[in-house]
Structure 1
């Protein structure tokens, strides 16, 4: 249940930014309508229904449903971790800027900036690599394939949306 709760938290922000950040003409009006709290409530309820259906089939669907859940979890782990590589890789460049007002500074030396950046990048890269390698080592090539292809495919779809929107 705790994992399911964290999954909703991880999914809410991307869903809200996806719905509100894309052109409104892509969605039915009911999906983009915000409630009093500024949340696309109907989209959240749709998502909750889909997740509930997934949980039902995973719980009672046997080994095929369990492997589907594993693939979804692996894809989620990679797709939520990968963007942080860019953010962390940009940290030393951010620290080089002296035109920003910084009320407090934690990393004061170049060594601390670069060593922290390298350490965190290595941890994330190894996490991603082992998420992909683990199913290969277990000879579960279907899980390995979808673990890699899933985030690439959805990233490509997002890129296509972006390019089409920029042209229009």
Structure 2
């Protein structure tokens, strides 16, 4: 258990540092901005309690907001992402798989489940992030364009990170 906690703390520190140092300065004409820091929340162990997940998502969002000066936008999107993660895992995984202490991974749960999990999570996070940021229908097409392009860039980076740390394991019965 201590190994899992240390691994998640190191993942938190590394992803926040990478987000703030590297990805904060990357953008495509103010339309696409990658936010791969949400992998911190997505890769927590399946058996993580809901309370801890919400607190961890809140702290993650608050940390990113502190560096982006964005007044709680990332915090709200991360807490909503935690809610979506709980619902998605509860609906799509069997009880014995949910009780395992493994992190959701490509090797354990299969590519179909993992890709849909990451893709829809990113889409939900980015939709809420940009809608809360703009909070207007004035530039609706530009907002939709930002959501789509940012989601795609974040998805590609998340998949590259997942492939980088891919470990082939036995499937858990899915």
Task: Give me the TM-score of the superposition, normalised by structure 1.
Answer: 0.29
- More helix, by proportion: 1
Larger relative CO (CA 8 A, sep 6+): 1 or 2?
Answer: 2
